[in-house]
Structure 1
Amino acid sequence: MNYEQTIEYLYSQLPMFTRVGASAYKEDLDNTLALAEVLDQPQRKFKSIHIAGTNGKGSVSHMLAAVLQQAGYKTGLYTSPHLKDFRERIRINGVPCREDFVISFTERMRESITSIEPSFFELTMMMAFEYFATEQVDVAVIETGLGGRLDSTNIILPELSVITNISFDHMHILGDTLPKIAFEKAGIIKPGVPVVIGETQPEVKHVFEETAARHHSAIHFADQEWRITDRQPDVEALTLTILEDADPEARTYTLDLTGHYQEKNLLSVLSAVRILRSQGWRLSEQAVHTALAAVKRLTGIRGRWDVIARDPYIVLDVGHNEAGIQEILQQLTLVNYKKLHIVTGFVKDKDVAKALDLLPGFAQYYFTKAQIPRAMDEQELYTLAVAAGLSGSTYPTVAEAFNAAKANAAKEDMILVCGSFFIVAEVL
């Protein structure tokens, strides 16, 4: 098989959560452990950092990987889903996994695929672990797929765990209350391994504290260790002045990830860096500054308040749940535009009605669907949107919706594409 045939085989043969939803989710680690046994435990052959959370875990993973890479470490990065090319999920120093490795790994594992019947995520995550082990990375930053406790990535024993925040998402799998969701995310906390919690949330703080205490793991709440004293948002960069709890001297960081919500993510990264330094990792302040200003170049991250054009101002953002939409709305208040056009679509297993209730009623909407089975039909979305007081038109494909928005937008207007990773992916 060539690369395209290999990817089509993986998509067609393995249940894929991002396409079909909960039917692809396995409520145990049995398949993952079986695959690890076949591959001689590749996850034990490199050091790792584990990242979970409802929102921000992708940004934190990329920022931390950029810092480690800039500091001179050969750094693996595993994230999901991808936007354009499957190999975006598996990177070393920002470079996507080689096509020939994807082909050879899949060929080698075909017999095990038949006998173990793993999901797409289970197999491709083990592909990443095997790649990192084969390429002898110094460290790999591993982002969870869903939850934490039963997530396939949770067979690693990391140097550090990070949990960005907790909000409502995947409730049909993770639980219908914040403490239940926090319990699942807290499942990545390992005995004796320090953990950073990005946001102190009263409803779930005790869940993390109790789990950390049970595992004798030092716990750090990032928003209690750092304080932002000044912010200078800009289209090209976000400049933040920050005070550390134990240091009276302020530090200024410039981020190329410009979304307002990156402020919270930066605090998680700074706490993680401080802990890694205490463990002996050589992460100079210069490396941190340089990396944070060049995360896009170093890691290839896309879709986080991603400005792709001006006149009109066009932004792509993968925010897709209640908390993610709220962060996008905060960012919108910083932008000047004459009229707002929003291209949006959702997947069926989200609380779409709640997300629509948050969106601004004054915008012109272009309701559409991604070309995946999990996507909500654009007519059904339109019905929900009208009930939420929104107005617009429906389009059967993302391309048609995006082209209509561009045709209707004046130079002084703004086009926002959001609602789903897959809507953004199809625009890209």
Structure 2
Amino acid sequence: MTSSESPSNLAEWLQRVEALHPSEIDLGLARIAQVSRQMKLPSIAKKVITVAGTNGKGSTVCMLYSILAAAGYKVGTYTSPHLVHYNERVRINGKPVSDELLCDAFERVDHAREDISLTYFEFGALTAFDIFSRADLDVAVLEVGLGGRLDAVNLIDPDIAVLTTIALDHTDWLGETREEIGTEKAGIFRAGAPAVCGEVDLPLTVINHAQSLAADLMRRGEVYDFSKHDDENISGMQVWDWNGTRAGERISLVNLPLPSLPLVNAATCLQALHQLDMDIPEQAIREGLINANLPGRYQRLDKPVPILLDVAHNPEAASYLAERLQEEKHTGRLYALLGMLSDKDTDEVLTIMHPVIDEWAVCNLDTPRAIAADQLQAKLTELGASRVETCANASAALEVLLDQVSEDDLLIIFGSFFTVGAALEALSIVP
């Protein structure tokens, strides 16, 4: 395909889009706003929820969708990155859109942009917005890619802004303190609109920004909260209670089923959904919580051996993963397959996970951003790990570990979307 030829399939479109802009990341809304005006994009949905945060964005989007779908609404979700196939990023009613829909939308964006150089993420966001605008959606749920204030998703004005957590990640782009990062993430707030925050310890910059906009700041621990407890009727079963607000009135739900995804994000979802002014029956909430499953987020597989996949790639996510593993009190050995990117806080992640894992296999990843497997091995050896296998890629590491892991053990695959995606491909599992 030459530069003048129109791409004929999704792979060729993605190749073209990747080559359009000199930088992978170039934060700012000027380019995408200009192309949006030239496309004359209409509204993308009757209601829009935008989700930002260091961790928990994907699981929050997943549970928002699952509950809304159970209530009978037509929902579009835009998330990133994908694990295996690009189509995972753009879903309608939970199903990835087709190559054909994506290619048609890529064509429209490409025609409208003229000589404006869009980044890969900007092009993809406009493609999703174009598809959603033609789908007659009740709700669009948008996941911020990086930060919030200058992210392409922030082109769309949300009816509700959700902020999950604020921790140190992407510091080269967002700032080196929680206060600086909070300023960027709070950029998704809108004047007078609900801003639901799952972070209890909110930086003052977030609070001040909400006040400056007169946004309706809804903080966990103040406006809404949750608690987990034993089920009174079923021995060994745990449930949870939620309390929050709707239209200024206190409301509560009791004995809810535990989701497979983080409970704190489920609580934040419920507070956000109750601000939508839409009919969401309690039964839909219960069904949605039970049905919400997200590939690569504490995802369990039983075959060929017990496997757990999680994209945890920063200290906050690693702490959550380690805590859940320790709570489960495994009787067998815990094996880990790890691959990470060099721009992450590798040392802290390994420090958190090392005490939990019995045996390691580390691998290279198919990206120039990856940290080399031998570097990971050296770091783990320094921490006191006695046995660390180094492998050329995730598939090779998986092959090594599958020969060692028994039915009583657990294999944990984590460290990056690249790691989990490569493992899913090696296992022939479609997300």
Tell me the TM-score normalized by structure 2.
Answer: 0.88
SS in 2 for 1:128: helix
The answer as to 2:50 corresponding to 1:57 is no
By how many angstroms is 1:52 displaced? 0.4
Stretches of structure 2 that go unaligned for 5 or more consecutive residues are 1-6, 425-431
The answer as to 2:233 corresponding to 1:230 is no
Of 236, 248, 252, which residue of structure 1 is paired with 2:255?
A: 252
SS in 1 for 2:208: helix
Q: Could you tell me which residue of structure 2 aligns to residue 392 of structure 1?
A: 388
Q: Share of identical aligned residues, percent?
A: 29
Q: Could you tell me which residue of structure 1 aligns to residue 358 of structure 2?
A: 363
Of 324, 328, 331, which residue of structure 2 is paired with 1:331?
A: 324
Q: Is the 8 A contact 1:223 1:264 kept in 2?
A: no
By how many angstroms is 1:88 displaced? 0.8
Q: Is the 8 A contact 2:109 2:127 kept in 1?
A: no
Distance 1:426 1:14, change over 3 A: farther
Q: Distance in 2 between matches of 1:244 and 1:230?
A: 14
Q: How does 1:269-284 map to 2 (within 5 A)?
A: 269-276=269-276, 280-284=277-281
Q: Is the 8 A contact 1:76 1:139 kept in 2?
A: yes
What RMSD over aligned residues (CA atoms) do the two structures have, in Å?
2.3
Stretches of structure 1 that go unaligned for 5 or more consecutive residues are 17-22
Q: Distance in 1 between matches of 2:371 and 2:339?
A: 7
SS in 2 for 1:334: helix
By how many angstroms is 1:114 displaced? 6.3
Q: Distance in 1 between matches of 2:18 and 2:49?
A: 31
* Alignment-mate amino acid for residue 220 of structure 2: A
Distance 1:349 1:65, change over 3 A: same
Q: Is the 8 A contact 2:148 2:186 kept in 1?
A: yes
Distance 1:43 1:398, change over 3 A: farther
The answer as to 2:349 corresponding to 1:351 is no
Cα deviations by residue, 1:365-411 (Å, 9 ceiling, x for unpaired): 11112212211121222222222333401101100001111111122
Which of 305-314 and 4-13 deviates more? 4-13
Q: Is the 8 A contact 1:339 1:412 kept in 2?
A: yes
The answer as to 2:101 corresponding to 1:108 is no
* Alignment-mate amino acid for residue 89 of structure 1: R
Distance 1:196 1:295, change over 3 A: same
By how many angstroms is 1:339 displaced? 1.1
Q: Is the 8 A contact 2:71 2:284 kept in 1?
A: yes
Q: How does 1:66-145 map to 2 (within 5 A)?
A: 66-112=66-112, 115-145=115-145
Distance 1:75 1:398, change over 3 A: same
Q: Is the 8 A contact 1:179 1:207 kept in 2?
A: yes
Q: Is the 8 A contact 1:51 1:61 kept in 2?
A: yes
Cα deviations by residue, 1:63-102 (Å, 9 ceiling, x for unpaired): 1111122212211101001112111111111111122121
Distance 1:44 1:134, change over 3 A: closer
Moved over 6 A (4+): 246-249
Distance 1:50 1:398, change over 3 A: same
The count of corresponding residues between Structure 1 and Structure 2 is 406
* Alignment-mate amino acid for residue 258 of structure 1: S
Q: Is the 8 A contact 2:18 2:120 kept in 1?
A: no
Q: Distance in 1 between matches of 2:87 and 2:28?
A: 26
Bigger helix share: 1
* Alignment-mate amino acid for residue 341 of structure 1: Y
Q: Distance in 2 between matches of 1:107 and 1:367?
A: 40
Distance 1:155 1:110, change over 3 A: closer
Q: Distance in 1 between matches of 2:165 and 2:79?
A: 17
Q: Is the 8 A contact 2:39 2:112 kept in 1?
A: no
Q: Is the 8 A contact 1:197 1:220 kept in 2?
A: yes
Q: Is the 8 A contact 2:39 2:109 kept in 1?
A: no
* Alignment-mate amino acid for residue 286 of structure 2: H
Distance 1:176 1:115, change over 3 A: same
Q: Is the 8 A contact 1:125 1:152 kept in 2?
A: yes
Q: Is the 8 A contact 1:46 1:133 kept in 2?
A: no
Q: Could you tell me which residue of structure 2 aligns to residue 20 of structure 1?
A: none
Of 3, 6, 11, which residue of structure 1 is paired with 2:9?
A: 3
SS in 1 for 2:166: coil
Q: Distance in 1 between matches of 2:20 and 2:398?
A: 31
Q: Is the 8 A contact 2:45 2:138 kept in 1?
A: no
Q: Is the 8 A contact 2:66 2:288 kept in 1?
A: yes
By how many angstroms is 1:178 displaced? 0.8
By how many angstroms is 1:35 displaced? 2.0
Q: Distance in 2 between matches of 1:415 and 1:238?
A: 25
SS in 2 for 1:347: coil
Cα deviations by residue, 1:223-260 (Å, 9 ceiling, x for unpaired): 4322304167xxxx9953214268696512224x425x
* Alignment-mate amino acid for residue 153 of structure 2: T
Q: Distance in 1 between matches of 2:137 and 2:420?
A: 31
Distance 1:45 1:244, change over 3 A: closer
Which of 216-225 and 133-142 deviates more? 216-225
SS in 1 for 2:319: helix
Q: Could you tell me which residue of structure 1 aligns to residue 215 of structure 2?
A: 217
